[in-house]
Structure formats: C-alpha cells, structure tokens
Amino acid sequence: MTKLKVKEGWGFPLNTKKAHYFVNGRSLCGKWLYFGRLEQGNDESPDNCVVCKKLLLKRRKKRIQRNDK
C-alpha cells in the first residue's frame, strides 16, 4: 500500500498579513485554505502567524515522541 505524501509548509495567501503553516491546504490555526507554493524552514520569522508557530512546535514534539517509542 502506498502512503499519500503530505504537503506542508509556510504559505502567504494574498489577503493575509502573516504567513501561515499549511498541512494539505489547511492552516494549523484553522483560519485559511491555501493550495499555492509552500516554503520549508524559516520557522522563526516575525512574519509568521503566532498561533501556527505554537501549533507547529506542538505537532513536531508529538512526532518526536511517537518516534521514540
């Protein structure tokens, strides 16, 4: 069985003041949909949504904990 590749990264939709982190088109903060170009890294930029940054850290900690088991 093949796994579907998750598309995720920072995106800057047209009507936003901040960049948001998207996973399969939906922002982590839940306010935006975006299917454009996504950027990896640059997680500490002041232009990033604060809520998305916090949820991204939480998401990565969970992933690390799952891999440790």
Q: Please report which helix (H) or strand (E) contains residue 32, including its range.
A: none
Q: What angle do CA 7, 14, 24 make, to 5 degrees?
A: 15
11-17 contact pairs (CB < 8 A, 24+)? 11/36, 11/37, 11/38, 11/39, 12/47
- Tens-place pLDDT, residues 2-57: 566 768 999 999 999 999 999 999 999 999 999 999 999 899 999 999 999 999 99
Q: What angle do CA 31, 23, 44 make, to 5 degrees?
A: 80
What does the domain layout of the chain look like in residue ranges? 12-68
